Structure formats: structure tokens, C-alpha cells
């Protein structure tokens, strides 16, 4: 199967006025039709920046300095701005983190959905309204006729998130980037949103890039996983490989920070697993280590880790990690 979206050696920098600081350094990802790629890592690791670079929506002073982003055979970095506007919302859509700020507060739900349909599908106002109603029904919003004429502030957080998904799906895109799509939602609404995305994905073969801090969401939704740290992809593979046998110390650290429910275990049970932590913080821009970027926080780091950049190592078919602590004979050229 060929990837519908392929990011190769993506490099993004920010102009500080004195120099260009690296934000993303060689990120490579593949996304396949009908599959979900989970992109995980702490805040500041480059997850949202990867999404914004893919959408062509980088903030001021940020720019792509190398690599390629291929969508269905077309290099988005070589596309003209007018072509990107044709693709955004049509072949490539994004669900942003906070729907209250992503939605326009002075436009009704109807207007925000129909303008996408009218622009990209060249439908009349009446046809676009029918499609908007259909999308609200698809995302399971009760009373869609009434919600269509509502403003964002009149909806709950869960409903606003569903409206964002309806907008993203309105033109049946090939790829959806979901950036923390359930942030600040309670667990029951989160479960409904994930179930909705899975159902719609099965119907449309849409590929989803799920950006999240939540490894539970990754276990539930993802087929493949990419772990980002300090602007680099430090581990990638199938969800079974990553969560079942993580090869990179950072991935293992993230998993140790995930609460696990031990049914029947007493609170003072010495055998019960404690909640782990990763010491230190993600290094700020301009202070990335020259060798292994995780070395200053890694309990396994030795002199080599602090002196040389680690190789990309295949630990199993389709599973690789950027670490000296894996078998050096498997290093990828």
C-alpha cells in the first residue's frame, strides 16, 4: 500500500532576528489510507509544528528549510499558495486543538460549514445547507436543524468539537490532521469523539494523523505511532510494537508516566506499579544537544550518547528507534 501522505526529512526553522533556530530536524512520517498514525510526545517536541507545516499554516518567522511533504503524489512544499488553498479543507483538513478559538464566534454553524462546501465543491447555498445538515447528523449532534443556526458560544465543548469534525469532513478529505481533538473534554465525550472518528474513517477510507499526549487514545485509535522529541522522530512503528516493546528510553519514560488501573490491588500494595516520571524538561529552541537530544534526561546515557548523534536502528520489521542502546549492527544507513 502506498502512503497517501509522506513527510520526508522535514526541517523547520524560526528566524530569531540573529539566526535561524532549528524547530524540526529531519522528521519523516508516513500515513496510509484508512489508517491512523498517532504522533506523541511532550509539549514542545514538534507535534503541532509538524501539522502546521503540513497544512502550510506556519506562524510568522517560521519556515520550512528542507525536506518534502507529498500528498497523493503532489509535493505541497512546491505548490503555489493558490493551490494550497484549493487543497486545504478539501483534500487535507485539520481539527484544531481548541474549537472555541478555531471557530469564528460571529458566524453561525451553518455559515462555517457551508462556506467550505461552496468554496471547494461549487455547490449552491441550498445544496451546501443540505450537506451541512447531513454532516451534523453524521457527527451525531442532536437537533441538527436548531444547531445549524446556533453560534459557537451557544454550544457545549463536545458539540463545538463535533462541529469542527463536521467542517473537517465536509469535503470528504483524503487526510485529516486531528491536533488534540479531545482536549478539555470529559472522558465520556472523548470516547464518543473517538468512536465517531473510527466510524467515519471506516466509511470514507480517510487517513488520520492523531496528535496527542494521551497514550490511551493512541492504544485505542492508532494503527501506527511516531514518537517525537525535541524536533526529531525518535521512534516509529506499529502501535503493537511501540506500546508492547518500546525501544527508545523516551518512549518507555512516556509509558511509565501513564496511570494504570490495577483492579483488586490495594493502595499500599508494594507490588503495585508506581507512576513514573521523566526528570528534566524538553530543551528550548537553540539549546538542543548536539548529540542525542534525550541524553541529558536519560538514565541510560553514557559518554557516547553525549558526544555523538545516535543512528536510526531497525529493532524489528517496521519498527525503528534513534538510539545508541539498540543493536549497532542494525543501524539504518
pLDDT in tens, 100-144: 788 999 999 999 999 999 999 889 999 999 999 999 998 889 999
- 231 CB neighbour count, 10 Å cutoff: 27
How confident is the model at residue 184, as a pLDDT? 64
Looking at residues 4-25, what average pLDDT do you find? 94
Q: How confident is the model at residue 273 (pLDDT cuts 50, 70, 90)?
A: low
Between residues 95 and 276, which one has the greater pLDDT? 95
How confident is the model at residue 38, as a pLDDT? 97
For residue 4, pLDDT over 60 is answered with yes
For residue 276, pLDDT over 60 is answered with yes
For residue 154, pLDDT over 80 is answered with yes
The candidate with the shortest Cα–Cα distance to 256, out of 294, 297, 215, is: 215
Task: Please report, for residues 143, 229, 291, 308, 322, the alpha-carbon distance to residue 281 in angstroms, rounded to integers and kept in the order given.
Answer: 46, 11, 17, 21, 19
How confident is the model at residue 261, as a pLDDT? 47
Q: What are the CB-based long-range contacts (under 8 Å, 24+) for 18-26?
A: 20/65, 21/285, 21/286, 22/231, 22/285, 22/288, 23/49, 23/62, 23/231, 23/285, 24/49, 24/50, 24/53, 24/231, 24/232, 25/231, 25/232, 25/288, 26/67, 26/232, 26/233
Write out the three cell numbers for 171.
Answer: 469535503
| Winning range, highest mean pLDDT, from 124-133, 200-209, 271-280 | 124-133
**Percent of the chain surpassing pLDDT 70:** 93
- For residue 72, which phi and psi values (nearest 5 degrees)? 50, 45
For residue 262, pLDDT over 50 is answered with no
**Percent of the chain surpassing pLDDT 90:** 65
How confident is the model at residue 41, as a pLDDT? 93
Looking at residues 214-222, what average pLDDT do you find? 90
Rounded to whole angstroms, the Cα distance separating 186 from 176 reads 22
Domains defined for the chain, CATH in brackets: 31-57+176-259+276-333 (3.40.50.300), 92-170 (no CATH)
For residue 304, pLDDT over 70 is answered with yes
For residue 208, pLDDT over 90 is answered with yes
For residue 332, pLDDT over 60 is answered with no
Rounded to whole angstroms, the Cα distance separating 176 from 91 reads 9
Task: Please report, for residues 201, 247, 320, the alpha-carbon distance to residue 221 in angstroms, rounded to integers and kept in the order given.
Answer: 11, 21, 21
pLDDT in tens, 229-249: 999 999 999 999 999 999 999
Amino acid at each position: 500500500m502506498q502512503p497517501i501522505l509522506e513527510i520526508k526529512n522535514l526541517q523547520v526553522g524560526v528566524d530569531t532576528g540573529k539566526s535561524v533556530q532549528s524547530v524540526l530536524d529531519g522528521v519523516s512520517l508516513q500515513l496510509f489510507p484508512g489508517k491512523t498514525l498517532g504522533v506523541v510526545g511532550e509539549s514542545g517536541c514538534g507535534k503541532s509544528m509538524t501539522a502546521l507545516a503540513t497544512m502550510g499554516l506556519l506562524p510568522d518567522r517560521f519556515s520550512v528549510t528542507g525536506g518534502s511533504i507529498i500528498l497523493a503524489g503532489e509535493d505541497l512544499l512546491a505548490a503555489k499558495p493558490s493551490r494550497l488553498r484549493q487543497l486545504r479543507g478539501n483534500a487535507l483538513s485539520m481539527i484544531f486543538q481548541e474549537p472555541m478559538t478555531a471557530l469564528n464566534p460571529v458566524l453561525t454553524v451553518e455559515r462555517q460549514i457551508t462556506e467550505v462546501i461552496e468554496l471547494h465543491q461549487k455547490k449552491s447555498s441550498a445544496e451546501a445547507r443540505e450537506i451541512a445538515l447531513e454532516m451534523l447528523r453524521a457527527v451525531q449532534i442532536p437537533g441538527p436543524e436548531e444547531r445549524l443556526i446556533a453560534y459557537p458560544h451557544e454550544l457545549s465543548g463536545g458539540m463545538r468539537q463535533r462541529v469542527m469534525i463536521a467542517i473537517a469532513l465536509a469535503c470528504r478529505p483524503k487526510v485529516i490532521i486531528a491536533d488534540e481533538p479531545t482536549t478539555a473534554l470529559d472522558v465520556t465525550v472523548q470516547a464518543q469523539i473517538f468512536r465517531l472518528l473510527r466510524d467515519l474513517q471506516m466509511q470514507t477510507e480517510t487517513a488520520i494523523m492523531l496528535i496527542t499526549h494521551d497514550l490511551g487514545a493512541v492504544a485505542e485509535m492508532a494503527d501506527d505511532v511516531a514518537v517525537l522529541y525535541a524536533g526529531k522522530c525518535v521512534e516509529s512503528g506499529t502501535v503493537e510494537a511501540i506500546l508492547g516493546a518500546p525501544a527508545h528510553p523516551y518512549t518507555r519514560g512516556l509509558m511509565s508516566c501513564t496511570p494504570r488501573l490495577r483492579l483488586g490491588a490495594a493502595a499500599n500494595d508494594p507490588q503495585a506499579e508506581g507512576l513514573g516520571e521523566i526528570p528534566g524538561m524538553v530543551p528550548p529552541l537553540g539549546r538542543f544537544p548536539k548529540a542525542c537530544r534525550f541524553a541529558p534526561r536519560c538514565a541510560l546515557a553514557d559518554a557516547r550518547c553525549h558526544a555523538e548523534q545516535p543512528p536510526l536502528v531497525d529493532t524489528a520489521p517496521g519498527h525503528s528507534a534513534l538510539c545508541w542502546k539498540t543493536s549497532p549492527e542494525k543501524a539504518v544507513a
